[in-house]
Amino acid sequence: MNGLSGMEKFSHLEDKIYLTVEFVKKLREERDNSTAEAERLRKEFGPLAEQNKELEAKLNELLTERDAIQLKVEAMLEAMTIIDPEVAEAVGR
> Under the phi-then-psi rule, with left for phi > 0, alpha for psi from -120 to 50, and beta for the rest, what region is 31?
alpha
Task: Report pLDDT digits (tens) over 19-31.
Answer: 999 999 999 999 9
Express each pLDDT in 38-55 by its tens digit: 999 999 998 999 999 999
The phi-psi region of residue 92 (left if phi > 0; otherwise alpha if psi is between -120 and 50; otherwise beta) is: left
B/e letters for 22-58, b = 16+ CB within 10 Å, e = fewer, are eeeeeeeeeeeeeeeeeeeeeeeeeeeeeeeeeeeee
pLDDT for 93: 63
The residue range of the domain holding 21 is 6-91
Task: Establish if 1 belongs to a structural domain.
Answer: no
Residue 40 lies in a domain: yes
Q: Look at the chain and report how many structural domains it folds into.
A: 1
